[in-house]
Amino acid sequence: MANNQNFDTIAIHAGQAFDPTTGAVIPPIYQTSTYVQDGIGNLRGGYEYSRGGNPTRTVLETLLAALEGGKHGLSFASGLAAEDTILRAILQPGDHVVLGNDVYGGTHRLINKVHAAWSVQNTTVEMSDLTAVEAAIRPETKILWVETPSNPLMKISDIAALAEIAHRHGIVAIVDNTFASPALQHPLDFGADVVVHSTTKYLGGHSDVLGGALIINDDELYEKAQFLQFAAGPVSAPLDAWLTVRGIKTLSVRMERHCKNAQAIAEYLDGHPAIEQVFYPGLPGHPGHELAAKQMSGFGGMISVAFAGGAAAARLFAESMHLFQLAESLGGVESLVNYPSEMTHASVRGTELEVPDNIVRLSVGIEDVDDLIADLASALPRG
Ligand SMILES: *Cc1c(COP(=O)(O)O)cnc(C)c1O
């Protein structure tokens, strides 16, 4: 693929040539576990066994790297499988991770519960406070884990400044780019070493497939992660990889609508008497607004809202809508509402990452915005 193509073209074509035998425009789902060898060790196209490689997965991995402007892509069964792989590719027992104090609950659980059993230590820190980040770094620190925008409070972290701190201390800067998607933000351009995705969200985009990704520039780190992908086997299945490729084709147009709808909804909710605060980086009053405008090309489709009436008001709202369906996850074409403190972030209750119980998170879909606002209005107390 020519490197001078623009994002919208890359999203539709990278890694995908028509099938040479049939002319099929769409690369097939290679639903196979193994490959015939023309004599022992004489492989056709390098494929031996689908844990090590599968042509449908190769399409997705090539596409993921191209979308992020990176050298290597790897695709996994879930976002957390991708995270686990990169953590184990870098960390040894005794090592230390610095991560944001409102990262995705599952990321914290993976590091704090699973990796902790192998003596991996961690410190959570306010990522917008660069002095605090620097102070949290120890001689054993190997990873700075950044999520921006963060989940669920939509905090924006300065990728370039954080990558600079990481590199000054010789540690790897990893950015979870799930909320922005590569349509809005390219962390590698700001100096990040590794990009992580839950492709379950915006990349897949249709709430019908789980997946995760790593995009890595450094050859040596890529080889370590690829070895673990092969040796431990958390790979994406062929059908899952194919569905994700299919979803990515419309990523740009979906993100445009997600951003437009979310902006209108954030403006509608901002200032409503039932609502104490709206967390959306597209609002000028959001503390990360200017930084987001600098490092992102749009403000995304995720909004969180704090209710003045506390937990009871938040719960009632979350359970009262029709178009916004009450469910975990995000980034699909359909709108969803989530009550983080008991749903997505239940695992961080009682920790420093606990989400206030008056917060409701909206994943704004691409439906008609007037219908979405009518649905929200029906669930809000009348003034
Ligand atoms: C969902 C999510 C993950 C985990 O991905 P899965 O595909 O559910 O394993 C990681 N990071 C963020 C920001 C997420 O929203």
pLDDT tens for the chain, 383 residues: list them: 445 799 999 999 999 999 889 999 999 999 999 999 999 999 999 999 999 999 999 999 999 999 999 999 999 999 999 999 999 999 999 999 999 998 998 999 999 999 999 999 999 999 999 999 999 999 999 999 999 999 889 999 999 999 999 999 999 999 999 999 999 999 999 999 999 999 999 999 999 999 999 999 999 999 999 999 999 999 999 999 999 999 999 999 999 999 999 999 999 999 899 999 999 999 999 999 999 999 999 999 999 999 999 999 999 999 999 999 999 999 999 999 999 999 988 888 888 888 999 999 999 999 999 999 999 999 998 75
| pLDDT for the residue 381 | 87
For every residue of 321-338, which 3-state class applies, written as one string? CCCCEECCCCCCCCCEEE
Distance, CA of 234 to CA of 170 (rounded, Å): 28
* Residue nearest ligand 1's atom 8 by CA: 79
200 lines ligand 1 (CB under 6 A): yes
| pLDDT for the residue 383 | 56
SS3 13: helix
Contact 297, 255 (CB under 8 A): no
Q: Report how far apart the first and last C-alpha atoms of the chain are (Å, whole number).
A: 57
Q: Where in the chain is the domain with CATH 3.90.1150.10?
A: 253-379
209 lines ligand 1 (CB under 6 A): no
Buried b (16+ CB within 10 A) or exposed e, 369-381: beebbebbeebbe
Cα 144–Cα 107–Cα 212 angle in degrees, nearest 5: 100
Residues noted as catalytic: 51, 104, 176, 201
Q: Where in the chain is the domain with CATH 3.40.640.10?
A: 7-248
Could you tell me the distance, in angstroms and rounded to a whole number, from the CA of residue 328 to the centre of ligand 1? 11
Could you tell me the distance, in angstroms and rounded to a whole number, from the CA of residue 29 to the centre of ligand 1? 25
181 lines ligand 1 (CB under 6 A): no
pTM recorded for the entire structure: 0.96
| pLDDT for the residue 346 | 85
Is CATH 3.40.640.10 what the domain over 7-248 is classified as, yes or no? yes
* Residue nearest ligand 1's atom 6 by CA: 79
Could you tell me the distance, in angstroms and rounded to a whole number, from the CA of residue 198 to the centre of ligand 1? 4
Q: Which fold has domain 253-379?
A: Aspartate Aminotransferase, domain 1 (3.90.1150)
